[in-house]
Chains A and B, each alone.
Chain A
């Protein structure tokens, strides 16, 4: 269900949902939820099943219960597009949880900041904490370890008998960790690793460290 990784002597726990927990600070990191996407599609005449909306909240509650964090960081693309009724559900959910929420804004976050600040969510473009840099778009900055989202990374696996498999993943390079998209109605983008990367694939119930082929 989880896998642990040490970065700069800090403990990070990866959850199968795509969430990442910074143990020392008790901060939960979640990227690319894309709230409102299903409703956005429906509003424009594409009948995506509404039940998919509830799943995002169920999964969020599950991780919150599992880690009981003090703080919650969203690494961008929290809300998919312009405001719609799903915002009301989001508001109710925010009111129902304890941790303090920070949104590090992404390219999809086009709704005005007031909406967030009014319900107690701190909105910023990036966040520096000790030697960790939290952003939406992956970035490289000297002496800092970057944790980001945006890409929706996935990985292709191969095995004997011409087997192939594609799974969403945590994608770690020397100074960077890219989180998978948390949202239920989001796609993935396949990354091809080099031998220097560390990959943790996620399934519907578990996290696996992937062995890199030769």
Chain B
């Protein structure tokens, strides 16, 4: 069949639905059938699924002209989705096309939710089209004879690639692809991504570095989507709080929005915030009972599926949710979206906005609900971002040795591997393109000998080397434990929450449960639950009528502003600093661009007049050429606050760097807090600020080595090590029914971190914790730029009598970093034990 004939089949199908294919769909069909690899940039709900299912099926038709009568068995294509909740939806659209075209092709889903029976059946007889997750794909590589399964696979599509890029699951995907390229000879690799800043790079990461540029393509769906951002501005600024993250003050404001729209999604930033909003709406407006629901990642699958179905039916007025509803799934009835609290990123904000007015041509409306006054500046910046489509990058990981070790063990427990062959494959991935031969040897040695030289009493056992050089795992226990570990790349130890009599409610981080004592009542999944006991990684609970304010907090809720967003934020703030806000005439231009924008103060900024006036009482609203430092004393100690407005990540780095440099002047201990506007050094001693300025402590000289040393003084790398220890298989998590042997294998990553620091500091995994902190958290490159900018600014130091509005969100932050140059003995003498109340 010629390509033209194939297109006709596709176009006829579209005609039957009364649709016309978009240009990007046709482009994708063509590129795919030409044998190209590529990345498709298309938003959710644009018909991206048809852009890639069609050519996969058409390709099968081409290779099997008698496709209507003769079915050729075997796996033909894999569709990867980062969220297993999306798999059913994808299956339905694929199945429809496959059936309508009369192909007899079969479809299957393989995720953590798939029953064992079905999985075994699949292994014997793979469906033609398999929909799965990155983890389940790894598990397939962990089973014997996997190469035969993938032999005739002609395509792999990685959906929502932007969500995986910049995470370790993305690295896991890169590695799986590097293997499939060898195993499946005629494989086409495609990714689908929403708009991010570095689309070209996203394609390179997906396809690997040896990829011939001519063979690959980047297709952009140019769908003009109108997005309207509306900020919810408090009617009385005087009573609007200076800090906080819940936003409940504005609860009444959302009522008319919900009432005026078919279905509204309320996005919150954390699962606990989601729980609280859901409770409070029902408390204040019991009339919504039955019309609103809640959706987040810790709620059990049945409930989530029910909620998703109810949104599709249009039977819900509103759903309070988290990023769990960011992706995929077409929800036509959703007319309006409300974002509660800063989304911290433009791409995420746009994605959420796109959940409303889903059908082509419809307008997307998103309301932004600030949780404290300063967030109105963020709202104003978001308006600008959407207007100018400023979108951030997703930074891919480099040299993630933990993921590589996990992958090598995976290969070793299935068919074994030859290092020479695998080295060539991984060397061509984006993540490991820079790996060196000594590093590779170290990793192999780690697998076989646990990173030690051979010693008589060592019994380290994991991977063995056979006579012909094949690396393989023979021990069944090791293989079993490894399979359990594969799904845990996200990290935290989770505890299942269950009713005592059975009935799964969801899962919570162990961290939260460990703080409860039997009899405590907490809110979860919209219910008040009494904690009874913990048994076999399960928390048993019963319903309670008691009121409580305990809501589980989930870690990892802290996001940082991207560089682009920080810049917009600064620009908005500097507008506020310009004199015209206080009603006076704009001065002749000094800062160039400022004079032109000064006149266009947004409604958000105007509403903040009261706050800015308050800020000016003791301090200033900084202008572009000013770096503001505020100092004051409270009950907590001496506060020293710096406002570079560079985003949380840069502030973490700058705070540690500056704290470290100050601590060299004289022994001192700091507690550090950061947010997107600035950072605080809190101490029981007052810093001699004049000395800080005189010694030029913001210099970029020795920045790297100082930053490195400051890292040793804080705990940031320690936290990164947590994931690394789990992924690389050094910490065992989440076993069902632990026996005594298993209990003896429990340890915390904290403990491991200490042991590595004291006895094996050159261990690559230990080192990785520092590199990751550097590259992914502290963003060294951005720090340098920020310091260079500061070098051109005037430093304005204000010694205040009391906290200013700008300082409030920072000084009340409880999540803090420590840094000290004092002798432990001296510190202990000034401290007291925390007593039982």
What residues make up the interface of A, taking CB atoms closer than 8 Å to B?
Answer: 37, 39-52, 55, 80-82, 84-86, 88-89, 108, 110, 155-165, 167, 184-187, 192-195, 199, 201, 203, 206, 208, 210-214
Contacts and interface: CB of A to CB of B under 8 A. Distances in A.
A163 B684 contact: yes
Contacts of B461: 42-45
A157 B478 contact: no
28 contacts: A42-B450, A45-B460, A45-B482, A45-B729, A46-B731, A46-B732, A47-B446, A47-B462, A48-B730, A49-B756, A49-B759, A51-B759, A52-B759, A82-B741, A85-B458, A155-B833, A156-B833, A159-B831, A160-B830, A161-B636, A163-B669, A163-B671, A165-B828, A167-B828, A187-B751, A203-B828, A210-B833, A214-B832
Contacts, number: 172
Given A45-B478, A47-B450, A157 B831 contact: yes
A32 to B, nearest CB: 13
Interface string B44-57: 00000000000000
Contacts of B451: 47, 49
B824 A203 contact: yes
Contacts of A165: 827-828, 831
Given A45-B482, A55-B759, 17 more contacts: A41-B730, A48-B747, A50-B452, A108-B744, A110-B740, A157-B833, A158-B833, A158-B834, A160-B636, A160-B684, A161-B636, A163-B684, A192-B836, A195-B835, A203-B825, A203-B828, A212-B832
A50 B828 CA distance: 32
B477 interface: yes
Nearest to B740: A110
A130 B476 CA distance: 52
Interface in B791-837: 816, 818, 824-825, 827-836
Contacts of B477: 44
Contacts of B482: 45
B751 A186 contact: yes
Nearest to A194: B836
Closest 5 CB pairs of A and B: A213-B832, A47-B450, A161-B637, A160-B684, A49-B760
B744 A156 contact: no
Contact of B748 (A41, A47, A187, A199): A187
Contact of B636 (A52, A162, A164): A162
Contacts of A49: 451-452, 755-756, 759-760, 763
B694 interface: no
Contacts of A52: 755, 758-759
B750 interface: yes
Contact of B684 (A37, A89, A161): A161
A88 B682 CA distance: 51
B459 A43 contact: yes
Contacts of B446: 47
Given A42-B459, A51-B759, A162 B750 contact: no
A42 B758 CA distance: 18
B561 interface: no
Nearest to B462: A45
Contacts of B481: 44-45
Contacts of B637: 160-162
Given A44-B461, A52-B758, A187-B751, A158 B832 contact: yes
A110 B763 CA distance: 32
A213 B475 CA distance: 53
A51 B760 contact: yes
Q: Give the contact-size bracket for chain B.
A: 35 or more
A45 B461 CA distance: 5
B759 A201 contact: no
Interface in B731-778: 731-732, 740-741, 744-745, 747-748, 750-752, 755-756, 758-760, 763
Interface in B199-240: none
Nearest to A42: B460
A187 B750 contact: yes
A211 B670 contact: no
A41 B452 contact: no
Interface in B441-470: 446, 450-452, 455-462
A47 to B, nearest CB: 3
B409 to A, nearest CB: 8
A45 B446 CA distance: 10
B60 interface: no
A84 B458 CA distance: 9
A193 B833 contact: yes
A80 B750 contact: no
A46 B763 CA distance: 14
Contacts of B741: 81-82
A176 to B, nearest CB: 16
Given A46-B730, A162-B816, A163-B827, A187 B763 contact: no
B683 interface: yes
Given A52-B755, A187-B747, A210-B828, A44 B478 contact: yes
Contacts of A155: 833
B638 interface: yes
Contacts of B456: 85
Contacts of A212: 832-833, 835
B835 A192 contact: yes
Contacts of A206: 825
Contacts of A186: 751
A88 B731 CA distance: 26
Contact of B459 (A80, A85, A184, A211): A85
B832 A211 contact: yes
Contacts of A192: 834-836
A28 B731 CA distance: 34
A199 B828 CA distance: 12
A162 B744 contact: no
Contacts of B835: 192-195, 212-214
B755 A184 contact: yes
Interface string B115-139: 0000000000000000000000000
Given A42-B450, A85-B457, A163-B684, A158 B831 contact: yes
Nearest to A54: B759
Contacts of B829: 208
A211 B621 CA distance: 44
A154 to B, nearest CB: 11
Contacts of B827: 159, 163, 165
Interface in B637-670: 637-638, 669-670
A53 B456 CA distance: 14
A161 B683 contact: yes
Contacts of A208: 825, 828-829
B755 A157 contact: no
Nearest to A186: B751
Contact of B755 (A45, A48, A82): A48
A72 B43 CA distance: 71
Contacts of A199: 833
From A44, A81, A203, name the one whose CB has the most chain B CB atoms within 10 angstroms.
A44
Given A42-B450, A48-B752, A186-B751, A164 B818 contact: yes
Nearest to B463: A45
A193 B834 CA distance: 7
A24 to B, nearest CB: 30
Contacts of B740: 110
A116 to B, nearest CB: 19
B481 to A, nearest CB: 7
Given A49-B763, A161-B670, A203-B825, A42 B818 contact: no
